[in-house]
Amino acid sequence: MYNPRSLRAEEFISHEEIIETLSYARQHKGDRSLIAEIFAKAKLRKGLHHREAAVLLLNEDTDVTQQLYQLAEQLKQDFYGNRIVIFAPLYVSNYCINGCTYCPYHARNHHITRKKLTQEDIVREVTALQDMGHKRLAIEAGEDPVHNPISYILECIDTIYHIHHKNGSIRRVNVNIAATTEEEYHMLKEAKIGTYILFQETYHKESYEKLHPTGPKHDYAYHTEAMDRAMAGGIDDVGLGVLFGLESYPYELVGLLMHAEHLEAVHGVGPHTISVPRIKRADDIDPDDFDNGIDDDIFAKICALIRISVPYTGMIISTRESKAVRERVLPLGISQISGGSCTSVGGYDLPEPEEENSAQFDVSDKRSLDEVVRWLMEMNDIPSFCTACYRAGRTGDRFMSFCKSGEIQNFCHPNALITLQEYLEDYASPETKRIGQALIQQQLGGISNRQVRAKTEALLKKIAEGERDFRF
């Protein structure tokens, strides 16, 4: 029985409700008056119900899709402006006891190079990341209670937060590790993580069980209920995601939105972020073995629909996607991207030797962080290295209330400018610095609150004089 308030996976992600939703959406595919009502609701910026999103998803009229893109772009501008937050993944271990059929780290893959970073390795890797200019990392690790117990993850986090190299520091560590217990989530909270990220992979239980034939991840309910345990353990900010390509995309989008509705209904706060990875080629993995791959048009439609359905939730796209695809979907609602990423275990300090391959997937966008920063600015986007909210205690429902009131704009925009200024001073190439400084001057004019603008100007001056780490 469907119940968004239930704590049982099969009730808040009800298979019957998804099937009925898709049937409802098919019946109303060309229903112009319903579509107009849905757009009118979305324009109020309070989000959409999963049934409403499904109607727009299955609609094939070009003009409806264009309307969807225009509204997504508008909401992106209203909530996120032209800022894009930058982060990098840090793979600390690819030992894994699970059997996920779409991931090269699965336990039966004996030809991939298995690696685990020591704390000394982490110091070298994070120093290299700081030298690139990164301030925000996402730790990635396989599930292996012997190689990667929670004590190892906690030690990695502690090491990372204590590395201060030149003007560098990592100010926010997000964590992407396997579903775990409430007690271990509480430990992560105590270790001061930012967002806990866990991809559902697929919401379709039967497919999920086939795609995860062995290991603890086989347990659909334990995996799907992980965010509730994380929140019960004190983690305010959680990040959802599905791996598009495993199951049919309409099923996945409806499941994803139901998960967001469930978190809001039970915990009073929806997901902090949603990631939209697509299955990619990797060692032992051929995307063509999976029947549900989505093309770039459908991918763009999904991004736009997520934007209008959950306007307060950040959306993340990684270097799995090419520059061209990233360019296409950035205006439709993406608020965070990775840049200069390495998806092998180690590889930031020294490239992985050719005879080794520990990568989770092939990176499509291989540009350096400096190139990514310049590219964003050339499109008039502001690369932001901001980590202010989590450090100022603006997390969970507190963060959402700032978002919903629109007050967050008074933080995001100046924070983007001052963290970009830090990047330009410490890490940018001369050309990137030149473009960035012109952009900052131009964007200062966009701060309508005179006090905020004056304070931003003062902080920019202090940064140019050598001071660091300011925030609104």
From 21, 59, 93, 98, residue interacting with ligand SF4 (rule: CB under 6 A): 98
- H/E run at residue 425: helix 409-426
**Site map for ligand SF4, 49-88, x if CB under 6 A?**
------------------------------------x---
> Quick one: 101 or 248, whose CB is closer to ligand SF4?
101
How far is residue 470's CA from residue 452's CA, in Å, rounded to a whole number?
A: 13
How far is residue 383's CA from residue 418's CA, in Å, rounded to a whole number?
A: 11
CB of 140 to ligand SF4, least distance (A): 8
Rg (CA), the chain: 21
CB of 465 to ligand SF4, least distance (A): 23
> Quick one: 372 or 388, whose CB is closer to ligand SF4?
388
CB of 297 to ligand SF4, least distance (A): 27
**Site map for ligand SF4, 423-442, x if CB under 6 A?**
--------------------
Return all residues near 70 (Cβ < 8 A) that are at least 6 apart. none
How far is residue 332's CA from residue 307's CA, in Å, rounded to a whole number?
A: 7
Please give the residues from 175 up to 214 whose contact with ligand SF4 meets the rule CB under 6 A: 178
How far is residue 184's CA from residue 433's CA, in Å, rounded to a whole number?
A: 43
How far is residue 382's CA from residue 84's CA, in Å, rounded to a whole number?
A: 6
CB of 387 to ligand SF4, least distance (A): 6
C-beta separation of 109 from 281 below 8 A: no
Tokens at residue 70, please? 């225009």
Select from 28-36, 286-294, 316-324, 385-393 the region that touches ligand SF4 (CB under 6 A): 385-393
C-beta separation of 246 from 211 below 8 A: yes
> Should residue 412 be labelled a site residue for ligand SF4 when binding is judged by CB under 6 A?
yes
Select from 17-25, 277-285, 339-347, 384-392 the region that touches ligand SF4 (CB under 6 A): 384-392
> Quick one: 253 or 388, whose CB is closer to ligand SF4?
388
C-beta separation of 239 from 125 below 8 A: no
C-beta separation of 346 from 305 below 8 A: no
Tokens at residue 218, please? 């086989």
> Quick one: 384 or 432, whose CB is closer to ligand SF4?
384
196-208 burial, b for 16+ CB within 10 Å, e for fewer? bbbebbbbbbebb
Select from 94-102, 265-273, 422-430, 457-465 the region that touches ligand SF4 (CB under 6 A): 94-102
| Nearest in space to 196 (alpha carbons), one of 181, 185, 208, 210 | 185
- H/E run at residue 303: helix 296-309
CB of 282 to ligand SF4, least distance (A): 10
Select from 249-257, 304-312, 410-418, 423-431 the region that touches ligand SF4 (CB under 6 A): 410-418
**Site map for ligand SF4, 387-406, x if CB under 6 A?**
xxx-----------------
> Quick one: 59 or 176, whose CB is closer to ligand SF4?
176
C-beta separation of 191 from 158 below 8 A: yes
> Should residue 143 be labelled a site residue for ligand SF4 when binding is judged by CB under 6 A?
yes
C-beta separation of 365 from 144 below 8 A: no
Select from 21-29, 124-132, 347-355, 386-394 the region that touches ligand SF4 (CB under 6 A): 386-394
Interface residues toward ligand SF4, by CB under 6 A? 85, 96, 98, 100, 103, 105-106, 142-143, 178, 217, 384, 386-389, 408, 411-412, 415
